[in-house]
Amino acid sequence: MPSTETLALFSVAALALLIVPGPAVLYVVARSVDQGRRAGLLSTLGVAAGSLVHVAAAALGLSAVLAASAAAFAVVKWAGAAYLVFLGIRRLAGPDERAPGPGRPARSSGAVFRQGVVVNVLNPKTALFFLTFLPQFADPSRGPAALQMLLLGGLFVAMGIVSDGAYAMAAGSIGGWLRSRPGLLGVQRRVTGCTLIGLGVVAAVTGSRKG
């Protein structure tokens, strides 16, 4: 198992990475503004579940296969980008939504969670991040590297839930304020839709499989 010093160093490095908003944070914020804190927190958990998939893949060496195959990387990247664009277009084409009230059910919790999972699983850069980041803190002399990577990855994901959850709570408050003002509902819908489409476009056109 990693030493106390390694865990402390890893935690500091992870915190430094997590506090800088990235695509996952922007996705969570967009969901929170559009659908409220509950949806934002469910999206956070979905993104975290997707991260756990990548952590397991990195520990098992499956991410190395993705990194080595340009075709596989491209397929996953374009699938993820297309999914984000699809979500954005669907939101732009959808109705303006007020906060759920009596007789008005909230959007399916399972659907919101699953979308967060899919968005993160279909992000190959997340896979490459864990593949390159986790081994830096694994010490073969202290036990199986794969188990250490699973532990460190789990710690990173747990910290990410706290960090992204804070963004979700703050953005959800802003979304609640917008939903209480009918004249701004159209703006809220367009901002959310354009944010999702923008994330998809950025995912499609930036970086390489080495990025």
Distance of CA 202 to the CA centre of its chain: 15
What residue spans define the domains of the chain? Answer: 36-96+109-205
Q: How far apart are CA 169 and CA 131, in angstroms?
A: 30
In the block, which residue shows the tokens 């489409």?
197
- Each residue's pLDDT tens digit, 190-204: 877 888 898 888 778
In the block, which residue shows the tokens 């819908």?
189
- Each residue's pLDDT tens digit, 8-67: 999 999 988 888 888 888 899 989 988 889 999 999 999 999 999 999 998 888 777 777
Residues, the chain: 211
